Copies of this chain bind each other. A is one copy, B any other.
Amino acid sequence: MEGDPTLRLRVFDLNCWAIRYLSKRRQERVQLIGDTLRREGFDLVLLQEVWSERDYSDLKVKLGSCYPFSHYFRSGVIGSGLCVFSQFPILDTLLYQYSLNGYPYMLQHGDWFCGKSVGLDRWWHGSVTTTLSPSCQLHAEYCREKDAYLPHRLVQAWELAQFIRHTSKAADVVLVGGDLNMHPEDVGIRLLRGWTGLRDAFTEATRFEGCEDGCTLVPNNCFTIKSELLPFPLGIRIDYILYKAISSFTVKCEELKTTTGTAPGMDIPFSDHEAVMATLQIRRQGQAGGDALGTAEVTLADAVTEARTEVGVGLRAAQRQRYSTGRMAVLALLLLLLQAAAALGTLAGLGAEQPFPKLSFTLLAFLAIGVLLLATGLHLFHTMEVKMLQGTEEQMRMALRALQEHP
């Protein structure tokens, strides 16, 4: 870049949907993804939902020659599923695990077990540009009409935004790629973009090629669940490439592409999500640029207010659950104490020979112990949830004050 003032960066982002035993035709698709990446030679590849470390290792072996640098982010029980392949040296990595990520007892949704995180790679391109590329995935949306996870997803969007704000000063360019599980007009996206100044590659791209409206979950992908997309005949856009320049650089999106239901030249798709591919043009400029927020600040304040209201709703729900699980634990404890008193009374010969049948008495005691343990565990979990929601609400309040005081 020293001679040529323009750098062209080709970025690939995909939610791979590679869950062992559950995802359809997983191995075949991972192989296909590997072949395509090797053929296309992107500069940076951000992958999500690579849940099996084996798949990552296979990809690493296959891509070793063209992407000599890679990193797999480990977290949670199953993992974060995030990995990154790069043609340029990765200087440093950092993993930030979101403080809230669903409920451990919602086994059918399973987000809690994944340890969803944002993984940050600081890498070095040529002799000038240091690029930060957080790869991330937020909590899934299972029901848009009655979205019980909205407060958790907003906490994650806020934490992601804060994480990017605080870490991005170490870079010239920030690139974020990931499955954000939010539609473009959703409050979480407005919050993330407003608070960080990130630009959306789809809306900024000079040329676009791919699914209509840039959708990444489309009905003509054979792996998507058609009933879930009924209200959205074109599909939905939930996978993004976002970017901004920090210091004396400018970034422009020359071209954005998505796959369109099948992998190029194949009869099956890479995943149930479409891949997003951006060509970015990075230029050094004389004056420090800095993305002007200015007029956008009113909309940002609106987004923060809206998000704070939703977090408040989640907080009150969490407080109710903390209260009811606490009450349940106390009741179970009282039942146990009552039983212990009755048993002691019988032993001491105070009552008649055997007032209760032994078996049901024991069963009841075990039931009470079970309920006590479960309710205590849930109470502790919801106590943590309340603390984190309160903390986020407080941070948002502080941000709103700062926005009002320094407009």
New contact pairs (14) apart from A90-B398, A93-B398, CB-CB < 8 Å: A71-B398, A74-B390, A74-B391, A75-B384, A75-B387, A77-B387, A92-B398, A95-B391, A97-B97, A115-B387, A122-B166, A169-B169, A358-B359, A359-B362
Chain B residue numbers with a CB within 8 Å of A162 are: 92, 94
Smallest CB gap from A361: residue in B: B359
A384 to B104, CA, bound (A): 14
- The residues in A between 329 and 365 inclusive whose CB is less than 8 angstroms from any CB of B are 358-359, 362-363
Chain B residue numbers with a CB within 8 Å of A165 are: 92, 170
Establish whether residues A384 and B169, one from each chain, have CB atoms under 8 Å apart when the complex forms: no
A395 to B94, CA, bound (A): 9
Smallest CB gap from A402: residue in B: B91
Chain B residue numbers with a CB within 8 Å of A383 are: 77
Interface of chain A, helix or strand or loop or mixed?
A: helix
Cβ of A120 under 8 Å from chain B: yes
Smallest CB gap from A367: residue in B: B366
Q: Can you list 10 A-B contacts with CB-CB less than 8 angstroms, sorted by A residue number? A: A74-B388, A75-B388, A92-B162, A96-B96, A97-B99, A115-B384, A166-B170, A358-B359, A362-B362, A366-B366
Cβ of A76 under 8 Å from chain B: yes
Chain B residue numbers with a CB within 8 Å of A358 are: 359
User: Which residues of A are interface residues toward B (Cβ below 8 A)?
Assistant: 71-77, 79, 90-97, 99, 113, 115, 120, 122, 162-163, 165-167, 169-170, 358-359, 362-363, 366, 380, 383-384, 387-388, 390-391, 394-395, 398-399, 402
Establish whether residues A73 and B169, one from each chain, have CB atoms under 8 Å apart when the complex forms: no
A163 to B97, CA, bound (A): 13
Establish whether residues B163 and A73, one from each chain, have CB atoms under 8 Å apart when the complex forms: no
A99 to B94, CA, bound (A): 12
Establish whether residues B167 and A387, one from each chain, have CB atoms under 8 Å apart when the complex forms: no
Sorted nearest first, the 7 A-B pairs with minimum C-beta distance are: A169-B169, A74-B391, A169-B170, A74-B387, A366-B366, A166-B167, A77-B380
A157 to B325, CA, bound (A): 35
| Shortest CB distance A178–B (Å) | 18
Q: Which among A94, A166, A170, A363 has the highest number of chain B CB atoms within 10 Å? A: A166
| Shortest CB distance A378–B (Å) | 12
Smallest CB gap from A360: residue in B: B362
Find A79's partner among B74, B96, B170, B387 (CB 8 Å cutoff): B387
A71 to B394, CA, bound (A): 9
| Shortest CB distance A179–B (Å) | 21
